[in-house]
A and B are shown apart, each in its own frame.
Chain A
Amino acid sequence: MADKTQLARQFIEAIPHARELGMVLTEIGDGMAEITMAYDEKLIGDPETGVIHGGAVSAVMDTCCGAAVMSHPSAPGGTATIDLRIDYMRAATPGQTIVTRATCHHITRNVAFVRAVAMDDDSDRPVATASGAFTVEKGF
């Protein structure tokens, strides 16, 4: 188990785009992952308010869901997104770190089903939720 978690961690930390966005893997294991992304001006989608772009939230959600799949005890290797739906509940508060948590709640030989939530400092009111289907790959 520790090996799988270690592999998933190394894989996530080697992703050029994840580094570029300042993503940090804070928790991983047993089909669960948590990734944070600090506020950065380059992520702004609305210059009038300083709110980060929905696309940046999608990028962390996607990475976090993938990490959750790879850390699942039944996952043999890597994964790729088949589909991902994101619901945006509210604008993320400018200046605050985005925290995403994903759970791989079911996995078959071919498909992994994942749910995720994104929050800022106010963890009672989610910024966005996601639900997606991912492939189950034999290797990386």
Chain B
Amino acid sequence: MNRSRPEPVQVVKQRRDAALAALVEAVPYIRFLGITFDRRGDELTAILNFDEKLIGNPFLPAIHGGVTAAFLEVTSVVTLNWAHLWPKIESGELDPNELTAGKLPRQPKTIDFTVDYLRSGLPRDAYARATVNRAGRRYASVHVEAWQDHKDRLFAQATGHFLIPQDPVKKD
């Protein structure tokens, strides 16, 4: 049995983290909302870092419903894009160092997005994870859940449908 030696851990981490950072940092709106991503293998957790500008009801106070919707949508799009690009990142077809503005792969487009508000968003950090329940050739269905203090006490969840970007047809 002759098995190729596994890549060194730093090489694997560096490649994956660089690819994720490139996808996230290229989007101005993600930076504006202060959303960052944690990665464990291919699993992503989005973090909405609290800031006063995210407040929707100053009397409670509570996070703006639109911010919650945006946070869930950003988490869904990034998770879907990440799942879609992962094989290409791992195979070396996509070079993370070349994932800069002007060379980014096309992103999934939202068709519809339905947010279910379960409790008010408290003025503190929030977390979200999305699951791609189905990814066909053209359409994907994604479910996303967000929490603050307890993972099993969600403050919002959403389901969305997305159009998968098509690779340009190669003509010979």
Contact = CB atoms under 8 A, between A and B. Distances in A.
Interface string B14-41: 0000000000001111111100000000
Interface extent on B, as a size class? 35 or more
Contacts of A15: 55-58, 64
A91 B33 CA distance: 20
Given A44-B28, A84-B65, A53 B115 contact: no
A122 B52 CA distance: 34
A59 B55 contact: no
B66 A63 contact: yes
A62 B66 contact: yes
A88 interface: yes
B104 A47 contact: yes
A45 to B, nearest CB: 5
Contact of A16 (B52, B74, B77, B116): B52
A66 B65 contact: yes
Interface-central residue, B26, B57, B58, B71, by most chain A CB under 10 Å: B57
Contacts of A41: 28
A52 B94 CA distance: 26
A42 B71 CA distance: 15
A62 B65 contact: yes
Given A15-B55, A52-B29, A58-B70, A80 B65 contact: yes
Given A85-B113, A88-B109, A55 B27 contact: no
A28 B133 CA distance: 40
Contacts of A62: 64-66, 69
A84 B55 contact: no
A3 interface: no
A1 interface: no
A124 interface: no
Given A44-B27, A47-B26, A59-B70, A84 B107 contact: no
28 contacts: A17-B67, A43-B32, A44-B29, A45-B27, A45-B29, A47-B27, A47-B28, A48-B104, A48-B106, A52-B29, A53-B27, A54-B77, A54-B113, A55-B29, A58-B69, A59-B70, A62-B64, A80-B65, A81-B65, A81-B117, A83-B115, A84-B115, A85-B112, A85-B115, A87-B111, A87-B112, A88-B109, A91-B109
* 7 tightest Cβ-Cβ pairs between the two chains A and B: A55-B70, A59-B66, A53-B29, A17-B64, A58-B69, A62-B66, A85-B114
